[in-house]
Structure 1
Amino acid sequence: MNTERKPIDFGGLDDFDTRPKATPQTPETKVAERKAVDQMAGFPSRERSDEGQINIRAQEQVLNRFREMAKKERYKLGAFLEIMMDVYEQRNGG
């Protein structure tokens, strides 16, 4: 059995060049680049949203009534709240 190892031929690696050093980026460039990547990749969680959230304290029967009314009309709670506010403003000259 031959246990002698063959030498590694590093001559075949002459075709590879080292990478040029990257020019340092400014913070503004980094942010703009990240936004462009996020927008193309479709990361909605990183985009600013115009939605918010509120917590309403009321009797459970009132909350359930509101949820049932919205569900019956097939609206999301926020959309149903907006409809109700619009009707209120129309009735009260708002």
Structure 2
Amino acid sequence: MHLGLYLKKYQKLEKIGLIEIDLNPDNGLEYDCTLTSKGKDVLDEISTLEKEWEIVVNINDDDLEVLRKLALDSFEISYKHKKKKGFIF
């Protein structure tokens, strides 16, 4: 994705207080993002919910790794499809 598109998405997260954006970082990047305490709380809550879900569906580490790989692979397929369509839906 174009850097501007990433920044636009990050700005939405910043607007709701989950991250802070530094538009002039000292690390050579175009911009840098850090989680706020609210963002860290949300991330912790997501991790807790994921663990609860794993228990409910009785999933083991091997199954979880397969699901992660499937999800990541599907993102690439989805991106290629969207790119082919010019990102117009």
Q: Higher RCO, 1 or 2 (CA under 8 Å, sep at least 6)?
A: 2
TM-score normalised per structure 1? 0.29
TM-score normalised per structure 2? 0.30
> Normalized per residue, which structure has more strand?
2
> Normalized per residue, which structure has more helix?
2
